[in-house]
């Protein structure tokens, strides 16, 4: 089969489109013919070695959708079932051996691209807005990179929860997209001081929660955007890692809460995985949630997809087609 691997780890130029043997499904695994794979920043981190992978060359792709073509021992899912999954690596390939516990059934009326694209960032937006800081009507959140993959979905789910949404973005085009998906206010954080803008918009009160995927360039100022006892949710680092912080800062800035969550811990329980996936799919089918797929690339062109993502050129979701 064809697969896209990082060999060796490094820049996008190290991505190689090669022939490898299709994996054999082991105990507890299903072999899935991959129809679509989502592109995520986590793939960049495995490509560069920022996140360590045990195998060489490094297999990429942390979400996908396709059809089960074979199963290993002790797997009850039927061959021919349409499925989607995340947090199991190897979807940048024609076939992937996926733990059956990670698979969710993909409804017939949701396409493979939508299914693949909704899993990682969609379930992330779900756990952030429903579990990490369950938003209530009347609350206000600040969403950084609000036109990004995770960002656009957080904006929409925050609105579904009845919250007021302030989104930061780098360009006016991105601002328009975030507003079209429900953001009440947008801030061009490359031109405007987002702290001053948040203070102005909230009448000096600050926001209840910050959902921050940007990290290094936004983290510290975001703490000042919070109301007393507000929550800082630092869930990513697209601008670079945040680095160490002194817990005393949280006290000085208003008895703040800080969390650094990971999707894995919010879907490790099968009930959580299936609850989040079924709500996502229901919202997509009902038109209450829109998955903005900016571009689908052939799998062989994954390097360009990575360049676009890292270069801040993208909005919403990127997909690879094997």
Of 1-9, 141-149, 192-200, 243-251, the window that binds ligand NDP (rule: CB under 6 A) is 141-149
User: Residue 49 CB, nearest distance to ligand NDP (Å)?
Assistant: 15
Binding to ligand NDP (CB under 6 A) within 159-178 occurs at 169-170, 174
Measured between alpha carbons, how far is residue 310 from residues 11, 42, 50, 106, 214 in Å?
11, 11, 14, 29, 12
Give the residue, chosen from 6, 42, 256, 293, that forms a contact with ligand NDP under the rule CB under 6 A.
42
Comparing CA positions, the residue from 30, 81, 27, 84 lying closest to residue 61 is 84
The answer to whether residues 212 and 132 touch, using CB atoms and an 8 Å cutoff, is no
Q: What is the 3-state secondary structure (H, E, C) of 254-272?
A: CCCEEECCCHHHHHCCHHH
Give the residue, chosen from 236, 267, 289, 302, that forms a contact with ligand NDP under the rule CB under 6 A.
236
Give the residue, chosen from 237, 281, 289, 303, that forms a contact with ligand NDP under the rule CB under 6 A.
237
Phi first, then psi, for residue 169 (nearest 5°) are -150, 165
Of 101-109, 148-156, 198-206, 248-256, the window that binds ligand NDP (rule: CB under 6 A) is 148-156
User: Residue 61 CB, nearest distance to ligand NDP (Å)?
Assistant: 13
Nearer to ligand NDP, 81 or 239 (CB): 239
User: Residue 241 CB, nearest distance to ligand NDP (Å)?
Assistant: 9
CA gap 68, 217 in Å, rounded: 42
Determine the 3-state secondary structure of 94 from DSSP. Answer: coil
Nearer to ligand NDP, 145 or 319 (CB): 145
Q: How many residues of this chain interact with ligand NDP, rule: CB under 6 A?
A: 30
User: Residue 252 CB, nearest distance to ligand NDP (Å)?
Assistant: 26
- 172-180 helix and 149-160 helix, angle to the nearest 10 degrees: 30
121 sits near ligand NDP (criterion: CB under 6 A): yes
Handedness of CA 319, 26, 265, 136 (dihedral sign): positive
Binding to ligand NDP (CB under 6 A) within 195-224 occurs at 213-214, 217
For residue 290, what are the contacts with CB-CB under 8 A and spacing of at least 6? Answer: 156, 181
Binding to ligand NDP (CB under 6 A) within 254-313 occurs at 261-263, 309-310, 312
Nearer to ligand NDP, 35 or 212 (CB): 212
Asked whether the bond before 8 is cis by omega within 30 degrees of 0, the reply is: yes
For the record, the structure tokens of 75 come out as: 């797997």
131 sits near ligand NDP (criterion: CB under 6 A): no
Q: Which long-range contacts (CB under 8 A, 24 or more apart) does 50-54 make?
A: 53/89
61 sits near ligand NDP (criterion: CB under 6 A): no
Name the residue number minimizing CB distance to ligand NDP: 148
Comparing CA positions, the residue from 1, 40, 3, 23 lying closest to residue 305 is 40
- What residues line the site for ligand NDP (CB under 6 A)? 40-42, 120-121, 124, 145, 147-151, 169-170, 174, 213-214, 217, 235-239, 261-263, 309-310, 312, 314
């Amino acid at each position: 089969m064809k697969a896209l691997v990082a060999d060796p780890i490094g820049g996008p130029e190290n991505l190689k489109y090669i022939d490898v043997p299709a994996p054999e499904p082991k105990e507890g695994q299903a072999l899935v013919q991959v129809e679509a794979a989502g592109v995520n920043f986590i793939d960049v981190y495995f490509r560069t070695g920022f996140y360590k992978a045990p195998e060489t060359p490094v297999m990429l792709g942390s979400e996908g959708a396709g059809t089960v073509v074979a199963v290993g021992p002790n797997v009850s899912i039927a061959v021919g079932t349409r499925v989607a999954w995340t947090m199991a690596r190897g979807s940048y390939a024609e076939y992937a051996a996926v733990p059956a516990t990670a698979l969710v059934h993909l409804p017939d009326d949701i396409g493979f691209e939508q299914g693949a694209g909704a899993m990682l960032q969609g379930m992330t937006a779900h756990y952030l807005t429903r579990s990490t800081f369950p938003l209530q009507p009347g609350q206000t959140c600040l969403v950084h990179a609000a036109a990004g993959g995770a960002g656009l979905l957080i904006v929409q789910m925050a609105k579904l929860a009845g919250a007021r949404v302030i989104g930061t973005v780098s360009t006016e085009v991105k601002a328009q997209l975030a507003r079209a998906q429900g953001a009440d206010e947008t801030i061009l954080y490359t031109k405007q001081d987002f702290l001053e803008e948040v203070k102005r918009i909230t009448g000096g009160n600050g926001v209840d929660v910050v959902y921050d995927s940007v990290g290094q360039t936004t983290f510290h100022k975001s703490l000042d955007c919070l109301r007393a006892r507000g929550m800082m949710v630092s869930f990513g680092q697209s601008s670079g890692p945040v680095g160490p912080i002194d817990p005393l800062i949280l006290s000085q800035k208003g008895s703040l809460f800080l969390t650094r969550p990971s999707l894995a811990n919010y879907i490790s329980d099968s009930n959580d995985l299936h609850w989040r996936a079924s709500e996502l799919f229901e919202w997509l089918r009902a038109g209450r949630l829109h998955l903005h797929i900016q571009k689908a690339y052939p799998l062989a062109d994954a390097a360009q997809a990575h360049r676009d993502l890292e270069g801040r050129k993208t909005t919403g979701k990127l997909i690879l087609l094997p």
